[in-house]
Amino acid sequence: MRNGYRMDLWGSSPNNMCTGNAFWGCERISGNGGNYLNPIRSARIRTVNSFNIKYGRIEIRAQIPKGDWLWPAIWMLPTTNAYGEWPASGEIDIMESRGNAPAAGFEGRDYVSSTLHWGPHFPQNGYPLTSKSMKRDSGSYSDAFHVYSVDYTPNRITTYVDGRVILDVDTSSQSFWNRGGWNGTNYDNPWEGRPNNAPFDQSFYLVMNVAVGGTGGYWPDNYPGKPWSNNSPSSVNQFYDARAQWEPSWEYNNPNDPVAMKIDYVRFYCYQDVKNSCPN
């Protein structure tokens, strides 16, 4: 949408109210010279209203999409922000990947990664200390279905692809406050008095989605063929205006629908020997 179109998602009834206006999530106006509105729309599935788990195992058998600038993710968010806004209440990324073709020195669809996000507030995020990537021995993860899983206990969070460990974090030996090195700073400790594994001592729900592009650095500006700049005020326009470069990679006419993230199953397991395990 261009040239002065106004997108209003605020609604007028309690059941039709936009709940997140961060980053202009409820209302935008496309003016002359401004960014296009929603050049790409995608989807997500989340279990926040149906299933939450505090400690347990989750397995998802999925085939991730293929196509430039696609960003598939299977992840977990806290049911309630018990310790404050993101990332203070934590985030568990079971799997993230990129739809781009493999390129030397960069992560494309031949890599998957897992990450824990945590910190007293944005942008104080300790995720670089709890993030790992895994390269496929041959081919790409988008070529077939794979099983992505997480073991989430009071003492460890471990992620896997097809049974191979991607990320393994001991969450009990030290607090995340100490892990992040924030002692002696002026920041407030949101997890003071809580167990060492806080903020990962709460219930989380599952999210599965495919995003596109973005300016947060997931694609650095030197990524091969990237048509937009993360620092540009018109990054959305740059991306969409270059669609002749990336749109063919989405293969719309392919009957196998490679641009989709396909889910075979999602399985939740509880630990009988762990207190507070099983769904809330």
Per-residue pLDDT of the chain (280 residues), as tens digits, is: 677 777 777 876 666 677 777 766 777 776 555 778 777 888 899 999 998 999 999 999 999 999 999 999 999 999 999 999 999 999 999 999 999 999 999 999 999 999 999 999 989 999 999 999 999 999 999 999 999 999 999 999 999 999 999 999 999 999 999 999 999 899 999 999 999 999 999 999 999 999 999 999 999 999 999 999 999 988 988 999 999 999 999 998 999 999 999 999 999 998 877 776 766 5
**In-domain check, residue 274:** no
Q: Match 């992840």 to its residue by tokens.
A: 75
Domain, as residue range, for 252 = 42-269
Same domain, yes or no, for 241 and 261? yes
Secondary element (H or E) of residue 73: strand 70-78
Same domain, yes or no, for 92 and 3? no
Catalytic residue, candidates 27, 59, 85, 96 = 96
Q: Is 246 helix (H, G, I), strand (E, B) or coil?
A: helix
**In-domain check, residue 277:** no
Same domain, yes or no, for 79 and 178? yes
**In-domain check, residue 278:** no
Q: What is the pLDDT of residue 23?
A: 67
Same domain, yes or no, for 65 and 171? yes
- Residue 96 is among the residues annotated as catalytic for this protein: yes
Same domain, yes or no, for 15 and 101? no
**In-domain check, residue 276:** no
Same domain, yes or no, for 28 and 134? no
DSSP conformation letters of 189-242:
-TTTTS-TTTTTTS-EEEEEEEEE--SSSSS-TTSTT--S-TT-TTHHHHHHHT
Count of the separate structural domains present in the chain: 2
For the record, the structure tokens of 116 come out as: 């824990």
CB 108 within 8 A of CB 81: no
Q: What is the largest CA-CA distance in the chain?
A: 61
Q: What is the pLDDT of residue 230?
A: 96
Same domain, yes or no, for 15 and 52? no
Task: Find the CATH number of the domain harbouring 120.
Answer: 2.60.120.200
Catalytic residue, candidates 85, 91, 192, 247 = 91
* CA distances, 197 to each of 100, 152, 262 (Å): 35, 11, 33
- Residue 91 is among the residues annotated as catalytic for this protein: yes
Q: What angle do CA 81, 87, 91 make, to 5 degrees?
A: 80
Same domain, yes or no, for 124 and 14? no
Same domain, yes or no, for 128 and 3? no
Tell me the C-alpha distance between 156 and 225, whole Å: 39
The pTM assigned to this predicted structure is 0.91
Rg (CA), the chain: 20
CA 17 to chain centre: 24
Tell me the C-alpha distance between 280 and 204, whole Å: 9
**In-domain check, residue 279:** no
Secondary element (H or E) of residue 64: none
Same domain, yes or no, for 94 and 162? yes
Report the sign of the C-alpha dihedral through residues 187, 193, 195, 198, in that order. Answer: negative
